């Protein structure tokens, strides 16, 4: 069996027309599949169907999996016979809203639903011009479950944007047997230059696996400006592919033999001193 996977990342623009955003995503994935018959997995950005803003979250929330966005992704996966990591949408369940990533199998079935565990809170010089404040928790409810899906021969851990700042989550996924982590991410422009690449390379080198992030295209006229630069980092913590700022599609073959190669050559998990760690924890 092949230990390789051909994936596409779609760094899409996002406007205020949900139907238009979803239609653009569907048409783009179809075009990529037509141009790349070996394509097995398509990855969409965080908040790909509606603007990323506290004010807009309630307006554009949908149920999962009954809502129109989910139904469009299910149909697309089934039609093209590919897996889809559906970025994220705002999910409505009862009186609660979640930032939710859905994952679809090649038969159109829902195989994963990740509700963002770590809600994004930021306050950088809010009193000054150019300062930024954002608080997802003011509107959204945090998820409470990790999400591992089987894509082909590989276990893939799912997070959303701010989740990648937390090394504990990535470590759990590695321990659960994951060889790739995927984070749909609308990382903001003020954090991007400092931490975007750094965090992905850190998660990759700590856990010796692939890290994939898919961002919306940058729109400098929007209220929340995404950084762009969708990225694939390999288990050596090298940037394998990187997008620019605008609308851009990346198709790449992932060779998971590299995961075992790195883990064999630098066997850090075999060297972990759990006896020492346990003693320190008990003394705290």
Orientation angle between helical segments 18-35 and 68-80, nearest 10 degrees: 10
Distance CA 157, CA 180 (A): 6
Which H/E stretch holds residue 11? strand 4-11
Per annotation, catalytic residue among 46, 62, 91, 136 = 46
Per annotation, catalytic residue among 161, 178, 188, 214 = 161
Per annotation, catalytic residue among 33, 62, 91, 116 = 116
Q: Is 161 a catalytic residue?
A: yes
Hey, is 35 helix, strand or coil? helix
Q: How far is CA 66 from CA 70, 71, 93, 137, in A?
A: 7, 7, 11, 24
Give the CA-trace dihedral at 214, 217, 218, 221, to 10 degrees: -140
Which has the closest alpha carbon to 192: 220, 234, 157, 156? 220
Which has the closest alpha carbon to 8: 35, 38, 43, 36? 43
Distance CA 52, CA 283 (A): 43
Hey, is 135 helix, strand or coil? strand
Distance CA 190, CA 244 (A): 16
Q: Which strands form 180-184's sheet, in the order they lie side by side?
A: 147-151, 154-158, 180-184, 210-214, 231-233, 239-242
Q: Is 279 a catalytic residue?
A: no
Q: Is 116 a catalytic residue?
A: yes
Hey, is 47 helix, strand or coil? coil
Catalytically active residues are: 46, 116, 161
């Amino acid at each position: 069996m092949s230990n390789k996977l051909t994936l596409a990342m779609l760094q899409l623009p996002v406007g205020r027309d949900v139907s238009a955003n979803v239609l653009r995503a569907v048409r783009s994935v179809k075009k990529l599949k037509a141009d790349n018959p070996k394509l097995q997995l398509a990855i969409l950005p965080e908040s790909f169907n509606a603007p990323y803003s506290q004010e807009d979250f309630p307006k554009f929330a949908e149920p999962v999996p009954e809502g129109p966005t989910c139904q469009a992704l299910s149909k697309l996966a089934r039609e093209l016979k590919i897996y889809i990591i559906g970025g994220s949408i705002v999910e409505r369940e009862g009186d609660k809203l979640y930032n939710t990533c859905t994952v679809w199998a090649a038969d159109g079935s829902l195989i994963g639903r990740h509700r963002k565990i770590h809600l994004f809170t930021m306050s950088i010089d809010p009193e000054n011009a150019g300062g930024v404040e954002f608080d997802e928790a003011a509107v959204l409810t945090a998820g409470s479950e990790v999400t591992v899906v089987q894509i082909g021969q590989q276990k893939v851990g799912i997070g959303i944007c701010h989740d990648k700042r937390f090394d504990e989550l990535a470590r759990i996924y590695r321990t659960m047997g994951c060889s790739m982590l995927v984070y749909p991410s609308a990382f903001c422009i003020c954090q991007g230059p400092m931490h975007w690449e750094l965090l992905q390379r850190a998660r990759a080198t700590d856990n010796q696996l692939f890290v994939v992030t898919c961002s919306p295209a940058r729109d400098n006229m929007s209220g929340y400006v995404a950084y762009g630069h969708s990225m694939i980092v390999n288990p050596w913590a090298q940037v394998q592919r990187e997008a620019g700022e605008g609308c851009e599609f990346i198709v790449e073959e992932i060779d998971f033999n590299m995961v075992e190669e790195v883990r064999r050559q630098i066997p850090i998990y075999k060297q972990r001193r759990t006896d020492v760690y346990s003693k320190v924890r008990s003394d705290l």
